[in-house]
Amino acid sequence: MPWGRLSAEGAVIVVSILLAFAVQAWWEQQQERRLEVERLSALSVEVAEAIRRIPDAEERILATLASHEALIRQFPGDSLASADSLIFWLGATGRPNAFDPPQTVLGDLMSSGGIQHVQADAVRLGIADYQLSLQVHAERLDVSWAIWMDRIQPYLEGRVPRVDRLRLGPYSVEENPVPFEASPFAPDYARLFADRVFESMLAERWMRLQQTEVALRTIESAATDLLELIDQDLKRD
């Protein structure tokens, strides 16, 4: 038996199989990396758009905070601002202050398990931090809005004219043709702004809005950090 030749041929076969496996593994790794790059690139665009929307959302929150502060300064009701100012500030407290960043790519990554295919630990942690910041902000926003819908707005029913339009914000006053004097409720602002219960509700919503504004800045920080991590990861190709 030509053992030498058989051994050589066997070695060639083994090497060929191992090489084929290596090539296949390399190809699969390249394909997985290509998919990862596509996902991270899409996520980068989405996060950048979220950052772009933050200033408008923050401006709305600060304006709503200012309206609360203006109303709180009216207590104990001895020397009130004009009725027009009061109705405007009351309307401004009813702004929902929604912040709705795009989350399609992020949601797909988290729900499909695609985040497990992100190789860099730092990027995975950055994505998790960003998602958590969005969740915290949404929860705080819901709490703040519930104070208005469940407590302040029902409390104002029967105490403030045109309170039905306050649900839509201050600018809806101009769009509603019902005259001010046609309201079924006569205003008693002096009594309203001597009521410590109302003051307490305004103060609580002001505090919750402050927390929402802080959470919004946390989103901005987490998003900025994530963009930098993604950019660094993409540059290694």
Residue 17 is predicted with a pLDDT of 65
CA R_g for the chain: 30
Residues 53-94 pLDDT 10s: 999 999 999 999 999 999 999 998 788 998 888 888 888 888
pLDDT bin (cut points 50, 70, 90) of residue 172 is: very low
Tokens of residue 74, six digits = 């009216």
pLDDT at 174 over 60: no
- The mean of the pLDDT values for the chain is 82
Buried b (16+ CB within 10 A) or exposed e, 44-75: bebbeebeeebeebbebbeebbebbebbeebb
pTM exceeds 0.85: no
Residue 74 is predicted with a pLDDT of 94
Residues 16-46 pLDDT 10s: 666 656 555 555 565 677 888 888 999 999 9
Q: How far apart are CA 159 and CA 193, in angstroms?
A: 11
H-assigned helices in the chain: 3-72, 83-92, 104-112, 121-147, 153-156, 163-166, 172-175, 189-192, 196-234
Residue 2 is predicted with a pLDDT of 62
pLDDT at 6 over 60: no
Peptide bond into 2 cis (omega under 30): no
